[in-house]
Structure 1
C-alpha cells in the first residue's frame, strides 16, 4: 500500500486539487511526534481563499480518512496524520517479506530503452582514477534503470580516434617489438608514445609521419588498421581486469572510430537544411538564439570534431536502439560541448533532442593532490583497487582473524569502499579520495554498511528457522523500530527520485541511514534473547533490513558480505 496515495485520494474528495497533486504536497514530518504524514495547506489557500490554519481545521472536521489513520491533528497551516502503528508496520514489512530483493522495483520502464554512455576509456592509455566517477556512476544508473523495468544499453564510447594513433603506429614501426608490446601491454604503448614525442623534438619530420599513418587509418589501409586494432585489443584486455574487479559489463564498445564512415550523413544533412555556415575556412552551426557560441563541425582541413562524431553517434543510437532516453556520464567541464551539440540536433528537427541528457559529475583528487598526467600525479585504477583490498585485508586480519574466506571479504570491502566513496556525495561535487575515510568501519562508508548487513546475517543464522507468516507486528511500535520501518518505506521513493535526477548518491546515503537506524535498534533491543512474539517480530525487521541493504548496495555496484 502507498499510504500517501490513499490519504491523498481521501483528501481529494474535499479539496480543489487532484489526488496526485495532493500526494505531491504530502510530507513526512522531521519529528514523529508531529505525525507520520503532513499536508501543508498553504498551496490550497489561493484556491479556497482562506487562511491555511482554517483550511487544515475544516479538512480535519470533514473527516473521511482511511481506516488506518488513527487520528489527525492541526498545527498552524498543517494537517498532521497519525497512522495506526501496528497496521503501518505490518503493511511495510509484510511487503518486504513478500517481495524480497524485488522490493522497490517497478515495471515503469517496460517497453522503454535507455542508452547510457559511460566510462569511455582512451585507447593506448592505462585506466586511471580520473575515469572512476564516470564508470561507477554509469554502472549504478544501469542497475537502477534495469531495476525499474527499463531496457538498458550500456555503451563504452572508446576514445580511439585522432592523430595520436598515427604517431603510435609510427613509433611502433620504428622502435617497437611485437613480443615486448604484447608482454608490456598499455605500458609498452605509452613508452613508445613518449619516445615519439622525445624524438619529434629532434626531428620534426616525425610529426608528418604520424599524420600520414593516421590518414591511412582514416582511409582504411590494411596495415594501419591491423596495428590500430591490435592496440585496441591490448588496451581493452588491460581495462577488462579493472572492469572485472568492479563487476562492470557493457553492451557496446563502439567508440569514435566506429563513426568514421557515418560523418557524411551529419554534414550532408546540415548542408541540406542550410544549417552549416562557413567561418574562416571552417564550418559551424550558429547557436545565437540559444546564447551559445557556434558549434564547430568541420575544421579548416576538413577534419571532423568531437561534436560531429557525437551527433553521428546519437543518430546511430536512435536508429539502432530507438532510445527513450540517452544519458552521457561525462565530467562537468564538457557542459558547453553537450549544450552545443544537443542544440544542433534540435535545429536539425529531431524532437528526440530533449531525450539527450548530460549527466555531469565533479573532479576527483587523491589525498589532497590534483591529478595531472603531465605533472606525473597519476593514480592508476587497478593499483588503487588492489591497494584498497590489501588495506581491507589488514584491517580484517586485525579485527576478525578467524574469519573464513578473508581474501574474498577483503576484495568485497576494499573495492566496495572505493565505489561507495565515489557515489556518496552529490555527483556534481568534487571528490578528494582518502584511505582513512573510505575504509572506516564506523563512518558513512561501505565497510560500515557492509558490516551492518553481515550483522543482520549473523543474527538470522543464530536464530535458525523462523516463521515469516507468524509475525505480531504490534511488537515493533517502539521508536527505534518505527524509525527503521519509516526508512524502509521510503526506499522505493528514493529509487524513483534517484532515477529522475540520475543521482545514485541518494541510494548511497539512504542505505547509510538504514544501517544507522538498525544499529541503534540492535543496541537498544534484545533480539535472540527476547520472548517468542518479540523475537519473531524483530527477526522480521532484521531480515527486511538485510534484504534492503543487499539490494541497495547491489544497485550501486557494491557487494554485501554475509560475514565480516
Structure 2
C-alpha cells in the first residue's frame, strides 16, 4: 500500500487525468476525464490510419468466417463468428495485409435429399420472397421426419440426393433456387451488420476435387483404408481417426476443408489462413491442420475459436419454443429496445431519423456486447446488460 501511495504521489499525470485513488491493499485507480477521451478519439479520427503503423511484411491472409447453411435461417449461433471474423478482417487490413474474406457456405450434403423429397412431393411450389427461408425450413423438417419414420421415404430421399449429385437438370435448378433464396436472406442480415465478403463459395465448389484429395492422401501414405473407409490416424490427437471418406464412398467435411485449403493456397496464393468458428470444432481443426501439414501445406493455419452465448439458465441461448433464436429476430429486438431508449432521451426524434438511429444504436450495442467478453469464454446474454451499453 505504501508503494502504491508513492506511485500515486510521484508519477506525473497525463493531461486530462484525475488524481489517482488508492484502493484495497495496493491498487492505484486512475480516472480519465471525458474531455480527454473525446480529444484522443477526435485525434484518432483525423488520422486515416487510426494510429496504426502498417506492417513491413504484408501477407495475403484468408479469413474464413460466418459460414451459414443453405435453406436454413441464420441464428444467434452465427453472430459471434460473423462479428469476430469481420473485426479480425478489418484489423488485419488496417495493418496493411491483403485480406480475403471468405464465406464458406454449407450448400451440399445429405440434407438436400430430404429437402428435395418434400419440396417435390408438394409440387415444387413457388417460394414466397417474404418467407422463403421459413418455407425451406418447413420442407426440410417434413422431409426429415418422413424419411426417418419410413425406410421407403429414406430411400427416396437418397435417390433425390443421388440425382442432384449426378447433375440431373431439374433437381439442379431446384437446388440453385434454394441457394438464391438463401443468399437473399443472408445478404439482408450482412447489410444490417455492415459485414461484407470478397468470396462466397459453397462446399459444392470443391466436389470435383474430393476424389483427387483422397487419392493423394492414400498415395503419399498419409491416409489408409480401415474397414472400407479412408482415414488418417494420429494417436497424439485422438484415438478415433480422422474420417476422410466413408465406407459407402461419401466424402465428409474434412475432405471438403482439405480441398478448400488446397484451392486457397493454389488459386488465392494465401500465405496464412484463419478459421473463425466455435470451440466445439477444436478437435476437427487439430486434425485438419495436422493432415494439411503432412500433406505439404507449410503456411500458418489458425483456428480462432470462441465460446457459446448462454441464456439466463446458463444453457445455449434459445427462443421460448426451445429452438435457436433467429438472427433477424435478434436484430429486430435490439432495434426495438434501442428505439424505446431513444424516445425516452430524445422525444423529438420521429420517422426515418428515429428508425435510422435506433438501427445504429441497437446493432452497435449488440456488436459491442458480443465482443466485450473474453473470446474463449461462454457468456450469459441479457437484454438488460446489452442496453446498459446503449444508454
Q: Structure 1 length normalisation: TM-score?
A: 0.60
Counterpart-to-counterpart distance in 1, 2:362 and 2:322: 25
Cross-structure match for 1:273: 220
Counterpart-to-counterpart distance in 2, 1:418 and 1:427: 15
Residue 111 of structure 1 deviates from its aligned partner by 4.0
Does the 8 A contact of 1:362 with 1:431 survive in 2?
A: yes
Counterpart-to-counterpart distance in 1, 2:170 and 2:104: 24
Mapping of 1:470-485 within 5 angstroms?
none
* SS at 2:105 equivalent: coil
Give the one of 363, 370, 376 matched to 1:422: 370
Residue 289 of structure 1 deviates from its aligned partner by 5.2
Q: Structure 2 length normalisation: TM-score?
A: 0.85
**Whose strand fraction is larger, Structure 1's or Structure 2's?**
2
Does the 8 A contact of 1:292 with 1:340 survive in 2?
A: no
1:106 equivalenced with 2:22 (yes/no): no
Counterpart-to-counterpart distance in 1, 2:45 and 2:179: 47
Give the one of 338, 341, 357 matched to 1:395: 341
Cross-structure match for 2:269: 322
Mapping of 1:189-208 within 5 angstroms?
189-200=136-147, 203-208=150-155
Cross-structure match for 1:488: none
Q: Go from structure 1 to structure 2 and tell me whether the alpha carbon gap of 1:195 and 1:367 turns closer, same or farther (over 3 Å shift).
A: same
Does the 8 A contact of 1:112 with 1:324 survive in 2?
A: yes
Deviation string 1:533-559 (CA, Å, 9 cap, x unpaired) is xxxxxxxxxxxxxxxxxxxxxxxxxxx
Does the 8 A contact of 1:370 with 1:377 survive in 2?
A: no
Does the 8 A contact of 1:360 with 1:428 survive in 2?
A: yes
**What runs of 5+ residues in structure 2 fail to find an aligned partner?**
1-5, 14-35
Counterpart-to-counterpart distance in 2, 1:255 and 1:94: 40
Cross-structure match for 2:387: 439
Q: Go from structure 1 to structure 2 and tell me whether the alpha carbon gap of 1:126 and 1:96 turns closer, same or farther (over 3 Å shift).
A: same
Counterpart-to-counterpart distance in 1, 2:309 and 2:239: 28
Cross-structure match for 1:239: 186
Counterpart-to-counterpart distance in 2, 1:342 and 1:182: 41
Q: Go from structure 1 to structure 2 and tell me whether the alpha carbon gap of 1:299 and 1:375 turns closer, same or farther (over 3 Å shift).
A: farther
Q: Go from structure 1 to structure 2 and tell me whether the alpha carbon gap of 1:114 and 1:32 turns closer, same or farther (over 3 Å shift).
A: farther
Counterpart-to-counterpart distance in 1, 2:148 and 2:237: 43
Q: Go from structure 1 to structure 2 and tell me whether the alpha carbon gap of 1:338 and 1:97 turns closer, same or farther (over 3 Å shift).
A: closer
1:365 equivalenced with 2:313 (yes/no): no
Deviation string 1:238-295 (CA, Å, 9 cap, x unpaired) is 1211111101111111121111111123112112212221111111111135566421
Cross-structure match for 2:324: 378
Cross-structure match for 1:299: 246
Counterpart-to-counterpart distance in 2, 1:125 and 1:94: 41
